[in-house]
Amino acid sequence: MNKKKIFIGIGVLLIVMQFFQIDKSPIAVDEKMTFATTEQPPKDVLAQLKSSCYDCHSNETKYPWYTYVAPVSFWIRGHIKHARKALNFSTWAAMSEEDRKHALHECAEKIEIGHMPPKGYYRMHEAAYLDDAKKALVHDWLQQQSR
Ligand code: HEC
């Protein structure tokens, strides 16, 4: 095969991939089950968690344009699936009280050490970035609730 054929092959593959869009159909959110209803966080804490965590860890994901472009979309779909399985703010009340406390503690910890939100994410979502003041705000509340 010569180079030209390889490039055409890759091009065709990329075009064909676009026909396989990831499933973005909305998932019904039961307000009674959410983190907001269960834990009653202060407004500013909730707003920040929504900006920083909800695209991955909830059923209220907002999908930007590049989630329509394969193969990036395939990678993002996997990431969201993984994240929802680990922690889902939309179905928070499905956890036992003990598990909820543990989850609050885990969240506080991941934020404190800077593991969440992931670096690659807040590069694309400025509002998700936790500077020292925002970090302290959400971390301290989560930590307090986890006791
Ligand atoms: C871009 C997607 C994304 C965002 C945004 C994100 N996370 Fe995650 N998070 C993941 C993925 C994927 C995992 C599972 C794999 C892992 O542990 O790295 C995870 C794992 C976790 C876990 C570990 C759960 C367990 O299994 O114990 C916690 C806690 C967590 N995230 C909290 C947060 C918090 C709090 C925020 C917001 C401040 C946040 N995450 C933002 C993708 C994300």
Burial class (CB in 10 A: 0-12, 13-18, 19+), 13: exposed
Instruction: Please report, for the chain, the start and end positions of each structural domain, with discontinuous segments joined by +.
Output: 3-145
| Length of the chain in terms of residues written | 147
Distance of CA 39 to the CA centre of its chain: 19
Ligand 1 pocket check for 41: Cβ under 6 Å: no
* Mutational pocket test of ligand 1: of 45, 50, 57, the residue with most ligand atoms within 8 Å of the beta carbon: 57
Round the average pLDDT of the chain to a whole number and report it: 96
Q: What is the distance between the alpha carbons of residues 143 and 147, in angstroms, rounded to a whole number?
A: 7
Cα of 35 to ligand 1 centre, how many Å? Answer: 15
| 37-82 pLDDT, tens digit each | 999 999 999 999 999 999 999 999 999 999 999 999 999 999 999 9
Ligand 1 pocket check for 83: Cβ under 6 Å: yes
